[in-house]
Amino acid sequence: MRRFLAGILLLACGSAAAQQLSRESMDALATTHDYVQKRASSFDRSGGNADAIAIRPGETATLLDAEGPGEVTHLWFTIASDEDYHLKKIVLRAYWDGEATPSVEAPIGDFFGLGLGEYFTYESALLAVAPDKALNAFFPMPFAHHARITATNEGTLPVNSFYSNIDYRQYAHPLAAGTLYFHAQYRQKAPNEGWLKTALPNDDPQVLTRKNLDGKDNYVWLEASGRGHYVGVTISVLQNQDGWWGEGDDMFFVDGAQTPSIQGTGSEDYFLGAWDFGTTSFSYASFGAPQKGAELAGSRSSVYRFHLDSPIPFTRSLRATIEHGHANSRSDNYYSVAYWYQTEPHAAFSPLPPVAERIPVLHPVPTR
């Protein structure tokens, strides 16, 4: 896994590093590998071409059931469904080593950065959506004894065709000491209520004079306990009012800190863009805004940031947050998935919101 993560890091660091990665990848082709390559897929067991499964309403399909030690290296799914917002209604879960509660739990679209229930294409080092509606993830997901990945249809219509390829390695040796487990958790606040009850711009004096020193009322995308490191987040925003939805500082509270251990300068800055993300969408290896709406009520934006250069470690706990508007002034809808690695057991996840509450719905903020 360490070599795999190092390769992703090189890819994320720019053209020179990408060339080095390409050279190292080619060199690796001439070396031996001490794993057996495996794939769990939805192929037609009869030998025909019906290479998909159907998932009825309320049904859970097992996509991977594998003995360890091993490591999942790639997920690929594509879905044919007549259900509106099926990306919000199909839930992806992953369980490592026989745990009772999942280490990964998110609506399938949100897991792949499509947090508003609609498809768009983009490419990053860890997540990518290719034409047409092809969902890819490249997080390394090691397991010592057993891995189980499922998809649950919480919609009202059957998923007619769910295509799946999950690539994983089967090792003959135990995982290295200190290997951490992959985790991903969905959260939302819709609306993400701010202290302003009417819509005001970020440069209004009432907003500018507001202070936030301890992160109170920030949007929380991760609360973890144990030992591990934070890798990144995808966030989707449905605006409930006009104006720029950002200006919120990211704040990380490491190992029980009461004031931010790490604090940034604004939403677009944390996601490594600038000036309201400019005028066009973009996606790079470790950061992007592949869906960028206008600064108007009803607009939709989706952004991501992966800390491939330096994951944020914690030894006891981590609370990862961001303001919604300066000092939490705005009340837009937020939907997020945080990605991290840690020891087990992990802290209990907050309950997944019911399907009806996951669907993006405008909650207009009064203008006066």
312 contacts: CB under 8 Å, gap ≥ 6: 229, 230, 252, 254, 262, 318, 320
Q: Give the helix/strand (H/E) hosting 108.
A: helix 108-111
Domains with residue ranges and CATH for the chain: 1-30 (no CATH), 33-171 (2.60.120.1390), 181-358 (2.60.120.1390)
- C-alpha 146, offset from chain centre: 23
At 19 the pLDDT is: 56
pLDDT score for 22 = 61
Predicted pLDDT at 30: 85
Rounded CA-CA distance 334/352 in Å is: 14
pLDDT at residue 14, rounded to an integer = 44
- DSSP secondary structure string, 200-255? --TTSHHHHT---SS-TTPEEEEEEESSEEEEEEEEEEE-SSSS-S--PPEEEEET
Distance CA 72, CA 341 (A): 14
Residue 15 has a pLDDT of 45
Task: Report DSSP letters for 167-187, one per residue.
Answer: EEEEESSPPPTTPPEEEEEEE
Neighbour count for residue 276 (Cβ, 10 Å): 17
Low-confidence ranges of the chain (pLDDT < 70): 1-25
Q: Is 259 exposed, middle or buried (0-12, 13-18, 19+ CB in 10 A)?
A: exposed
In tens, the pLDDT along 126-183 reads: 999 999 999 999 999 999 999 999 999 999 999 999 999 999 999 999 999 999 999 9
Q: Residue 80, CB half-sphere, CA atoms under 13 Å: how many? A: 7
CA distances from 235 to 89, 108, 124, 129, 209 (A): 17, 14, 14, 16, 27
**Structure token pair of residue 185:** 């958790």
